[in-house]
Structure 1
Amino acid sequence: MSTGSSFLAQIYPTLLTLAVSAAGGAVATALGMPAGWLMGGALAVTAAAMAGLPMAIPNRLRDVVFVLVGMMMGASVAPDSLSLIASWPVSLAALAVELVLIISLTGWMLSAVFKLDTGTAYMSSFPGHLSFVMGIASAGVGEPRQIAIIQVIRILMLTIVVPIGAMFLPIDHFTPPVASEFLNVWQLLGLAAGCIAVGLVFIWLKVPAGLVLGSMAAATAAKLGGLYTEAMPGPLVIAAFILVGAQIGSRFAGITRQEFVNAAKGGVVATAMTVGIVTVMAWIVSLIVDMPYGQIWLGLSPGALEGMGALGIALGYDTAFIAAHHVIRLLMLSFAIPAVVILIRRREKAA
């Protein structure tokens, strides 16, 4: 096999994944679905992966996705975001209560109803911090494959629920402001370099989702500091949505249909319970603070930060609010996950 053929064979799964995501996004957008490039791409790649096609996003391209989403979130921060921080304690308190409810109720349900072992049930119930959860699962707490499937189902369903809700429910969403000026190539390269540098510092400091949050921090600081006022170019935003959709859907690669069927029922019910809890908590917060319900829901939703951030951009919400709440959620889970694992270990020893 020639070098060229070998190279094409290596990149073929990635090119196919991106093509499938772009096609799915184009169809969803043509049908008028909110966040169509993101949701359509995620659904299309998921379907292709479950059909056995080689869907894959390499780690380096995944890092590019993180930087792009962070840049977009920072560039989309509203100038008056900081003035709204006074209303955040209410939603942050709701976030804490919500996490306790989700972990305890869905963990109990998966154990009592679907007869999963305690480790698998509660590791599957954690709403986020997937890499941390899978690391602990790989160390012998629960069944890693089943946990992975249930967690990925949660991420995919949350990505789908928000745009569908925006279409059919009386939830406020806004068309992102139409920009008249866009960042040029040199501005984009300079901003990207700053975002990568700060992202690497965040990773070194072990900040959860460090590359996304570091990129957003750099882009936000540059915007609020007056270094730029222009918007991200439209084609680049669409490309980022296609990449995020591809990344979400490709997580189903390598999962057999039987494995999916075995874990899907529990995963769907657990995600439905999670969505219900988030919906009620967001509604309660919306009665207290003057903020769009959909924005509160995205801030409290336990989806992947890059996915929820991209949805926030597509639906015209305040990305600073959404990002801040996801950071706090990840920090809360950083303490909650080890504590629950200790309780699981003690329960196993007692049994």
Structure 2
Amino acid sequence: MSALIEPIKGAGPTLLALAISATGGGLAQAAGMPAGWLIGGMISVAIAALAGAPVAMPGWLRDIAFVLVGLVMGGNVARDSLTLIVQWPVTMLALAIELALIISATGWALQKLFRLDPGTSFMSAFPGHLSFVMAIASAGVGNSRQIAIIQVVRILFLTASAPLALLLFSASAPQGPVEPQMAIGTLVAVGAACALTGFVFTRLRVPAGYVLGAMFMATTARLTGNFEGALPPAVTIAAFVLIGCNIAIRLKGITGSEFRGALLAGLVATIIAVGITTVMAIICAQFVDMPFGHIWLGLSPGALEGMGALGIAMGFDTAFIAAHHVTRLLILTISIPLVVMLVRRHERKRL
């Protein structure tokens, strides 16, 4: 009997986290909050984690969440996405300029306003690629604990504020005709193919491999006519509940005093990122024939899975959003080591 009870006990923290995320998301959705299932779940789990509740999300469940988000993103790719690629160079250029502005402005602000050392300031300023940032920080660049907390706070603030920022600019996507729900057999087949492709992408060390692999497969199936019909709402809701939980669970183990200490720094970093993103999106909107929301979420410096989920919830074209976030990760892969080299050179000159 104990052999049967033990796994159930071990699943307790995971079940608690999912229950909190689903309850918070359901209440937020019922209250009419934009992207309620995602934002409500994220905020609820964040509060529980900071309060010391025994919440957890194992790696295998996180990977399932990523596959589901990729599946839903691929299922929501607009069929005319490929015709819009000719406009992407403008927004890609804006993305590169935006990243330089965000990193330099945030790094400077964290040094001047919060007296953080250059390594901690600039590692906290990078908008994304958190695993890469933390790997370098752990090697002795800056205060890795401070960097982790500020980055997590920034991601939480950005994900929560994105729907509100879009609504301020009336950036809602027009709703197309409602498709009939797809057959269960099609859903199972495409879902299995998405999971397998995500696994392969991860083995090939593609950034956000499960998300991008699943989206690649779902998009291919959709554009080739092998993915007909709308996904069941339960699949989309499950993806939102899981991703909201995954974002917030990073606060587990952070004490209340640590969170309060990083709160203002994370808020400042978010304000700078949102302000620069909004200005760049407004500029791009003058040159490309594309809804403002598509541009803003494509340029937004949040996690691919989080921004992708928001794109789905707001009804935007996920192909554009994913392409720009992949480009952002590639730019950061190159720029993070370069900035670290500059920071270390500056520190040596001060000695």
* TM-score band, normalised by shorter chain: over 0.9
The C-alpha deviation readout for 1:264-300, integer Å capped at 9, x for no partner, is 1111111111110001001110111111111111000
What is the CA–CA distance in structure 1 between the aligned matches of 2:165 and 2:346, rounded to whole Å?
A: 40
How far off its partner does 1:9 sit? 2.4
- Any conservation in 2 of the 1:127–1:303 contact (CA below 8 Å)? yes
Residues 173 and 157 (structure 1 numbering): CA distance in 2 closer, same or farther, change over 3 Å?
Answer: farther
Residue matched to 2:31: 31
1:334 maps to a residue whose letter is T
TM-score normalised by L of structure 2:
0.96
How far off its partner does 1:119 sit? 0.8
Residue matched to 2:345: 346
Residue matched to 1:252: 251
Residue matched to 2:222: 223
Residues 128 and 28 (structure 1 numbering): CA distance in 2 closer, same or farther, change over 3 Å?
Answer: same
- Any conservation in 2 of the 1:134–1:144 contact (CA below 8 Å)? yes
SS at 2:230's partner residue? coil
The C-alpha deviation readout for 1:93-150, integer Å capped at 9, x for no partner, is 0000000000111001111211111111000000000000011111111111111111
Residue matched to 2:165: 165
Q: Residue 292 in 1 paired to residue 291 in 2?
A: yes
Residue matched to 1:70: 70
What is the CA–CA distance in structure 1 between the aligned matches of 2:253 and 2:116, rounded to whole Å?
A: 22
Bigger CA drift: 138-147 or 60-69? 138-147
- Any conservation in 1 of the 2:21–2:41 contact (CA below 8 Å)? yes
2:112 maps to a residue whose letter is A
What is the CA–CA distance in structure 1 between the aligned matches of 2:3 and 2:349, rounded to whole Å?
A: 58
Residues 129 and 216 (structure 1 numbering): CA distance in 2 closer, same or farther, change over 3 Å?
Answer: same
Bigger CA drift: 197-206 or 123-132? 197-206
How far off its partner does 1:225 sit? 1.2
What is the CA–CA distance in structure 2 between the aligned matches of 1:154 and 1:287, rounded to whole Å?
A: 29
How far off its partner does 1:92 sit? 0.4
How far off its partner does 1:5 sit? 3.5
Residue matched to 1:103: 103
What is the CA–CA distance in structure 1 between the aligned matches of 2:316 and 2:27, rounded to whole Å?
A: 24
What is the CA–CA distance in structure 1 between the aligned matches of 2:166 and 2:123, rounded to whole Å?
A: 30
Residue matched to 1:283: 282
What is the CA–CA distance in structure 2 between the aligned matches of 1:349 and 1:172, rounded to whole Å?
A: 50
Residue matched to 2:93: 93
2:149 maps to a residue whose letter is I
Query: Runs of 5+ in structure 2 lacking a partner?
Result: none
1:73 maps to a residue whose letter is M
How far off its partner does 1:175 sit? 4.3
What is the CA–CA distance in structure 1 between the aligned matches of 2:239 and 2:53, rounded to whole Å?
A: 22
Q: Residue 59 in 1 paired to residue 59 in 2?
A: yes
> How many equivalent pairs are there?
350
Percent identity, aligned pairs only? Answer: 57
2:129 maps to a residue whose letter is H
The C-alpha deviation readout for 1:59-112, integer Å capped at 9, x for no partner, is 000000111111111111111000000110110000000000001110011112
1:208 maps to a residue whose letter is P
The C-alpha deviation readout for 1:231-290, integer Å capped at 9, x for no partner, is 211111111111111111111111001111111111111111111000100111011111
What is the CA–CA distance in structure 1 between the aligned matches of 2:15 and 2:192, rounded to whole Å?
A: 25
- Any conservation in 1 of the 2:151–2:266 contact (CA below 8 Å)? yes
SS at 2:296's partner residue? helix
How far off its partner does 1:158 sit? 1.5
For residues 191-270 of structure 1, what are the structure 2 equivalents within 5 Å?
A: 191-270=190-269
What is the CA–CA distance in structure 2 between the aligned matches of 1:28 and 1:81, rounded to whole Å?
A: 31
What is the CA–CA distance in structure 2 between the aligned matches of 1:125 and 1:63, rounded to whole Å?
A: 26
How far off its partner does 1:314 sit? 0.9
1:327 maps to a residue whose letter is V
Q: Residue 145 in 1 paired to residue 145 in 2?
A: yes
- Any conservation in 2 of the 1:176–1:315 contact (CA below 8 Å)? no
- Any conservation in 2 of the 1:34–1:166 contact (CA below 8 Å)? no
Bigger CA drift: 87-96 or 162-171? 162-171
Bigger CA drift: 301-310 or 204-213? 204-213
SS at 1:251's partner residue? helix
1:257 maps to a residue whose letter is G
How far off its partner does 1:50 sit? 1.1
What is the Cα-based RMSD across aligned positions, in Å? 1.4
TM-score normalised by L of structure 1:
0.96
Q: Residue 156 in 1 paired to residue 147 in 2?
A: no
For residues 301-312 of structure 1, what are the structure 2 equivalents within 5 Å?
A: 301-312=300-311
Residue matched to 2:123: 123
